[in-house]
Structure formats: C-alpha cells, structure tokens
Chains A and B, each alone.
Chain A
Amino acid sequence: TQLLEQSPQFLSIQEGENLTVYCNSSSVFSSLQWYRQEPGEGPVLLVTVVTGGEVKKLKRLTFQFGDARKDSSLHITAAQPGDTGLYLCAGGPSGAGSYQLTFGKGTKLSVIP
C-alpha cells in the first residue's frame, strides 16, 4: 500500500511570511500532484510534477519533486490571506493499472492578515 505523509498537519502564519510544506513516502510515484481545497469544495489542481528533481513555479508557489520521486515540497513566498486552504499532495501509481491517486491527509494553512 502506498502512503503519503504530509507535514506539518496545521500551519498558521502571518501575511508576508514564507513557508514550506512537505509530502513524503517510502514508495515511488510516477507523478505527483498538488491540490488546494477550500472548505466544502473539491480540490483544485495546482501543479503536476513527473520527473525526479523537477522544480515548477506558479507565481509565489514553488514545487519540487525529489530525485527519487518519493517526496515533494511546496514553498510559498510572501504568503497572502488568499493562500489559506487545505493543501493536498497526491501520487500517481508506479505501475500499470488504473490511474488512481493516493492522497496525503493535507496541510491546513491559515494566513493571518
């Protein structure tokens, strides 16, 4: 069974601060997605990383996929209240079969104005 551990579970910071959240596994994933979810809504896809060592930037958000494709990080620069939400990482399967996603439990981020 593939498991994804996210840390920290909760994070409360002041507007303008930087932060990093982590997504770790003992399993290799073919790809890894990051989603943000607002309360009562579905997850919204932020980025997909597929190559070990890959770094992608989305405005103030920087995503990195580990060299061994077992872990990933999300770094937010100068956080804003609009960044508040649940950040979920999800891994794609490493072998053949259905393209199910394995999700972590998420990091709940609160950015205080």
Chain B
Amino acid sequence: ETGVTQSPTHLIKTRGQQVTLRCSSQSGHNTVSWYQQALGQGPQFIFQYYREEENGRGNFPPRFSGLQFPNYSSELNVNALELDDSALYLCASSTTGSEQYFGPGTRLTVT
C-alpha cells in the first residue's frame, strides 16, 4: 500500500510569484485535505476535496485554490505569494469521514 506523497519537497519562491504543490493520495482514499503549518504552530485547514469538488474551506483567501483529479491526486495553487505564505504545506488523504493520513509536506519559502 502506497502512502501519501507530495512534491516538491522544498521550494523557494519570490514574493508575487505563483506556486503549485502536488499530492498523491493513499491507495483507496477519495478525499484530500490541505493544511498550512507555520513554524511553531499546528496545521491550519485550507480546504478539502472530495470527488473533484471542494468540500469545505478554512479561513484562507481566494488566491489559495485547488484541484482534485479523477485518480484522487490533488494540487494546491497559491497566487501572488506573500512572505507570510512561507510554511510547511501538508496534504492528507482519507476515505469519507475517516481518519486522515498525512504526507511528508512541502516546505515553501517566500523571499
């Protein structure tokens, strides 16, 4: 059974640029959630996708957007990057209503 994978591992971007992060869900899981974890904080919920539709969103601006594909993999897109967007971005997969399993994360640094 393959676990949740994320790419890239690390990324450095400049303020104002756009970034796309990718996540492959665990085999058999149809739901993907994205979280942002700033240094010294717990993860904060960004949004969740179920069957290619957004299924809930946290307190993040519209420049954070996402996609889920038919194979249940997912992308997180962030436009107009700000310095405060520097964080560990975590993807978690699950089946409906079940426990969430996290990937290793993508460390984004905005300079």
Contacts and interface: CB of A to CB of B under 8 A. Distances in A.
B107 A48 contact: no
Contacts of A106: 41-42
Contact of A101 (B45, B50, B104, B105): B45
Interface in A47-104: 48, 88, 90, 97-104
B42 A99 contact: no
A43 B102 contact: yes
Contacts of A6: 42
B31 interface: yes
Tell me the dominant secondary structure on chain A's binding face.
loop
Nearest to A99: B97
B44 A45 contact: no
B107 A101 contact: no
Contacts of B98: 99
Q: For chain A, give the interface size range.
A: 20 to 34
A102 B33 CA distance: 12
A39 to B, nearest CB: 10
A71 to B, nearest CB: 16
B24 interface: no
Contacts of A35: 102
Contacts of A40: 88, 104-105, 107
28 contacts: A4-B42, A6-B42, A40-B104, A41-B104, A42-B4, A42-B92, A42-B104, A43-B90, A44-B102, A45-B100, A45-B102, A88-B43, A90-B43, A98-B48, A98-B50, A98-B55, A99-B31, A99-B96, A99-B97, A99-B100, A100-B33, A101-B35, A101-B43, A101-B45, A101-B100, A103-B43, A105-B42, A106-B41
Given A42-B104, A98-B55, A106-B41, 8 more contacts: A40-B104, A40-B105, A42-B102, A42-B103, A45-B102, A88-B42, A99-B98, A105-B40
Q: Which 9 A-B pairs have the closest CB atoms?
A: A98-B56, A103-B42, A42-B102, A100-B45, A98-B48, A98-B55, A105-B42, A103-B43, A42-B104
